Amino acid sequence: MSVIHYLKTRERVHFDTLTYHLAERFPSLRYIKRDKHHYYYWLHGDSTRGVDFSREGKHLYELRNTALSNEGDYVLSNAISRFILSRHGGHLLDEEEEPLDRSFPFTSEEMKKRQKQDVHLLMILLANGQEFAFFLAQRQVIFGPKAYAELKPYTDRYDELIRRIHGRMRHVWYEVPPEFEYGLIGQLEHPETGEIKRTKLLTNQTPYIVPKVHFILFEKNDRELIAVRREDFMKIKPEHWEMIDEYQFLAPVMPQAEWEALKQKAMSYDIFPDFW
C-alpha cells in the first residue's frame, strides 16, 4: 500500500536543484529520472523501496512511499518535503489534500508504525497462500510460501521480522553484483486461449538474474532451441547458481565445458516446440 503526500508550493520546484541538495546531505543518494517531472530517489545500501517524487499540476507535487519502505526511505521523504517547503513555500497535504500542520510527512513514531503495519499485512497475506513481487530500482524480490515458512517464527517479534524482510530486499538490491541483469524476458501467447507463458533465454555470454518464468531456453543450433520447463530445470540447475529468493536465481558465465554439459542435461528435458 502506498502512502501519498502532496506539496502545494508557491513557486515551481526545480528537480535539479532538489537533487543537488539531497546529494549534498546524503552521499549515498542515487536516482532515476523516470521522465521530466518524475524522479525516483533512494539511499544506496540502505533503502528498501525508495521514494517517488513527481509533478502533478501547477505548483502541486506528489511524494510517494510504497509498502515495505524502511526508515531510510521515510527520512528521505522528510528531507525532500522540508527542503521544498523551506525554499519554495507552501503547505504539506495528506492523501486527501488536507493540510498538515508540519513541514515533513513522517514522525519517528509513524515511521515505526508503518514498518510494523507493512510486515504484519504481508505475513497475513502470505499465510493465506498469496505471493508478492516487490519492485526495487531495477530488480524485484518475491515473497511466497517458502519465505513465509522461514519468517513465521518471528511473527510476534516485529523488530526481528522487519530486519529479516528488509534484509532480503537489500540482498537482492545491493549484494547481487550489478553485472547481473534480467535482460529480455520472452512471452508466448496461446493462439486460442490467450494463455501467457514467460520464457528466459540463457547464453554463456552474460550473467543473468532469472526471474519466475515458465520455460528456460538454450540455443541448440541456428534454427532450434532447447526448452525446459522451470520445474525440470531446477533438477539440473548448477548448485553454485544462487537462489536469491524462492523463485529467482543467478546464472553466471561458466567455463565453456561446464556450459556444454549443462546444455546436454537440458536436452533430456527438452519439450521444444511443444510449449502447450
**Residue-wise pLDDT tens digits, 206-231:** 999 999 999 999 999 888 999 999 99
For the chain, the average pLDDT equals 96
Length of the chain: 276
Determine phi and psi for 107, rounding to 5 degrees.
-80, 170
How does pLDDT run across 1-59, given as a tens digit for each residue?
Answer: 789 999 999 999 999 999 999 999 999 999 999 999 999 999 999 999 999 999 999 99
Amino acid 8 reads K
Q: Which set of grid coordinates corresponds to residue 145?
A: 510460501
Give the chain's end-to-end CA distance (angstroms, integer): 36
Pairing of the two strands 215-219 and 196-201: parallel
Peptide bond connecting 273 to the previous residue in cis, omega within 30 degrees of 0: yes
Q: Which of 108, 107, 103 minimizes the C-alpha distance to 87? A: 103
Rounded Cα distance between 163 and 171, Å, is: 12
Alpha-carbon dihedral angle through residues 105, 110, 115, 116, given to the nearest 10 degrees: -160
Give the domains, in start order, of the chain with CATH numbers: 3-107 (3.30.310), 110-175 (no CATH), 186-267 (no CATH)
Backbone angles phi, psi at 5, to 5 degrees: -125, 155
Distance CA 175, CA 48 (A): 13
Q: What is the pLDDT of residue 223?
A: 86
